[in-house]
A = this chain, B = another copy of it.
């Protein structure tokens, strides 16, 4: 039965090198996918999956499904506090603090995530829609407000292009570089399509970079203040 104080259960979880690497990586505050955490810990994907299940059962991390990815973050302030106390004692104090996400500035600025706009521009679009009340969170997740529908129409998005389709219209999507949300789902795809249709930007072949033209960038800034 391996009795002992509860404290040992928690400590044993953190005591495995792979799990500790995962937790330290999550101390940056960002939510990370299972694959990213597997790389971070230097183990295979199945192993990471198993570790994350244990950490979740122990109340140290919490999952969040996002499309076909599964993001994990630290479960609570308390959990972060425990890790921090340990790092302080162990002398790991200068928290790794690596720059999150891709190194390439162009990728950080604007890139395609599945099929919608991500990166700084994506966050900006999302924030702008929220700030102006075009995007609201209802009981069934995110939806466009009436004003939002108007705005989308004006932007060149026809409601017919995705009427009646099951998959979620809007979806929050955790950003990769900033720990911010941006707009995913079918609506996010439509916005990216409209932006391309307007000639503001185009996808660079073979990469995930979305290159804005100088005028496109100015127009974008006007459209999403």
Contact = CB atoms under 8 A, between A and B. Distances in A.
Interface of A: 2-21, 23-24, 42, 78-79, 81-83, 85-92
B12 A8 contact: no
How many copies altogether? 2
A87 B6 CA distance: 8
Chain A contact residues: helix, strand, loop or mixed: helix
A174 B83 CA distance: 34
Given A78-B89, A81-B89, A82-B85, A11 B6 contact: no
Contacts of A81: 85, 89
A91 B21 contact: no
Contacts of A83: 7
B7 A11 contact: no
B20 A92 contact: no
A205 to B, nearest CB: 39
A8 B17 contact: yes
Contacts of A79: 89
